[in-house]
């Protein structure tokens, strides 16, 4: 009702199909509302995205990194920002965070919100509560390690790719990082290999979080089951397969609806992410539905000859279990060519490389060339993210570059 009365974009959307807010009574009724994409909102003037009577210039803004080539600005009020941070803080406490912990976040400083004076955060830190320090992720790895050591964290937060890159230093004579109680990761796909390496290097459990600029936190890992609790009291998360709700254990595309964003609502908003749907209620007993895996972005799918489409996870089973691989990236260079870039622990065993080739070729078939290229290093992107899967092929009008 709020969106219909105050947001020009949604009023036009509802009116275009003769839908009234009172027609939406249950979660199942949401399917009557057309899905909105990032591209849809990018073509809409700001005044039609923000609630009537709200001064857009005074809102807190988050600028998305534009990893899909489509950057966007998300806007929230101060109260909305604090509320969404509270949901994230709840998840951190379930991981084991204490109010007096010192948290070190390794991130790109250009990614923090604008127009947020952080007065509340500074006041809490002044009395020793929720102490947070940041380290720039684009510094040389040795400098990141030095700064984190100096800060002596109880909890470390960062993207899996950046933390995995630091792992290469932690076994060397330059000295290990201070051992945190746990490490929380998010912002990109966490592979089994990444989790193992981060766990071994930091000597601490690794917990996964799934979120976005538009929604803040969407899901966080359950310590008991390993599935991810969805933040059901902050957002409605739909997992759709061919437009219908996915079944338990079935992959689908994420479509989300915010429940507390009144300045700039998102209703049935396509996130371009693929996840596996879990149970309606987590088996740990907490009152949250779950998702089981975050596979990655829709645009990271590989479009193959004859219109065949696969997710690169189908190729990676024998890759991330190979003990000789330190880091890897799958790159689709052409429709008929995929390259596996590998940073080895030591000399790459020819027999093991052939085993990976045989496994991948069974999935790809004879129409796609597959190569393994040994490289000295694989660098993360300017925004501090590490993309395990990259396609240089344009599909459905979107480029994954």
Q: pLDDT tens, 337-352?
A: 999 998 887 787 888 8
Helix or strand or coil: residue 172? coil
pLDDT of 383 strictly over 50: no
Contact 178, 149 (CB under 8 A): yes
For residues 401 and 375, the model is more confident at: 375
| Whole-number Å distance between alpha carbons of 155 and 182 | 6
In tens, the pLDDT along 216-240 reads 999 999 999 999 999 999 999 999 9
pLDDT of 45 strictly over 50: yes
pLDDT of res. 43: 84
Contact 295, 313 (CB under 8 A): yes
What value does the mean pLDDT take over residues 141-168?
A: 88
Lowest mean pLDDT across 69-78, 232-241, 274-283: 69-78
pLDDT of 49 strictly over 90: yes
pLDDT of 207 strictly over 50: yes
Six token digits for residue 151:
């800060």
CATH number of 301-391: 3.30.300.30
The 10 Å Cβ neighbour count of residue 237 is: 21
Strands 309-310 and 73-76: unpaired
pLDDT of res. 230: 98
Contact 401, 392 (CB under 8 A): yes
Six token digits for residue 119:
């007065």
Share of the chain above pLDDT 90, in %: 57
What value does the mean pLDDT take over residues 22-50?
A: 93
Domain ranges in the chain are 2-66, 77-212, 301-391
pLDDT of 65 strictly over 60: no
What value does the mean pLDDT take over residues 3-10?
A: 97
CA-based end-to-end distance of the chain: 38
pLDDT of 244 strictly over 60: yes
pLDDT of 10 strictly over 90: yes
What value does the mean pLDDT take over residues 198-215?
A: 94
Six token digits for residue 5:
């009365």
Pick the CATH number of 77-212 from 3.40.50.300, 3.20.20.70, 3.90.380.10, 3.40.50.980: 3.40.50.980
Helix or strand or coil: residue 150? helix
CA angle 24, 27, 29 (to 5 degrees): 40
């Amino acid at each position: 009702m709020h969106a219909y009365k105050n947001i020009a974009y949604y009023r036009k959307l509802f009116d275009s199909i003769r839908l009234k807010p009172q027609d939406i009574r249950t979660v199942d009724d949401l399917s009557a509302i057309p899905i909105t994409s990032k591209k849809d909102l990018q073509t809409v003037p700001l005044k039609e995205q923000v609630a009537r009577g709200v001064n857009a210039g005074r809102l807190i803004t988050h600028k998305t990194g534009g990893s899909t080539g489509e950057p966007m600005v998300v806007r929230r009020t101060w109260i909305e920002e604090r509320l969404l941070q509270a949901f994230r803080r709840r998840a951190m406490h379930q991981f084991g965070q204490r109010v007096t912990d010192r948290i070190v976040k390794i991130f790109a400083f250009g990614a923090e919100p604008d127009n947020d004076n952080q007065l509340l955060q500074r006041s809490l830190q002044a009395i020793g509560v929720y102490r947070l320090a940041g380290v720039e992720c684009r510094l040389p790895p040795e400098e990141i390690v030095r700064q984190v050591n100096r800060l002596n964290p109880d909890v470390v937060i960062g993207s899996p790719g950046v933390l995995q890159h630091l792992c290469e230093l932690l076994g060397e004579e330059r000295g290990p990082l201070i051992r945190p109680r746990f490490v929380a990761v998010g912002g990109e796909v966490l592979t089994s290999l990444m989790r193992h390496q981060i766990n071994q290097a930091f000597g601490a459990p690794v917990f996964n979080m799934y979120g976005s600029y538009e929604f803040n936190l969407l899901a966080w890992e359950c310590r008991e089951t390993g599935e991810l609790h969805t933040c059901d009291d902050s957002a409605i998360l739909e997992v759709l397969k061919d437009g219908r709700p996915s079944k338990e254990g079935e992959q689908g595309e994420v479509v989300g609806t915010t429940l507390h964003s009144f300045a700039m609502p998102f209703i049935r908003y396509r996130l371009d992410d693929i996840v596996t749907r879990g149970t309606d209620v987590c088996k740990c007993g907490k009152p949250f539905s779950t998702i089981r895996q975050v596979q990655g972005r829709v645009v990271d799918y590989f479009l193959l000859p004859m219109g065949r489409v696969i997710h690169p996870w189908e190729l990676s089973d024998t890759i991330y279990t190979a003990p000789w691989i330190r880091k890897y990236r799958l790159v689709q260079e052409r429709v008929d060519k995929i390259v596996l870039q590998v940073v080895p622990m030591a000399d790459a065993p020819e027999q093991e490389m052939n085993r990976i080739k045989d496994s991948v070729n069974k999935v790809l078939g004879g129409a796609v060339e597959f190569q393994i290229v040994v490289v000295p290093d694989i660098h993360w992107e300017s925004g501090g993210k590490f993309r395990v899967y990259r396609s240089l092929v344009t599909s459905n009008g979107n480029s994954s570059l």
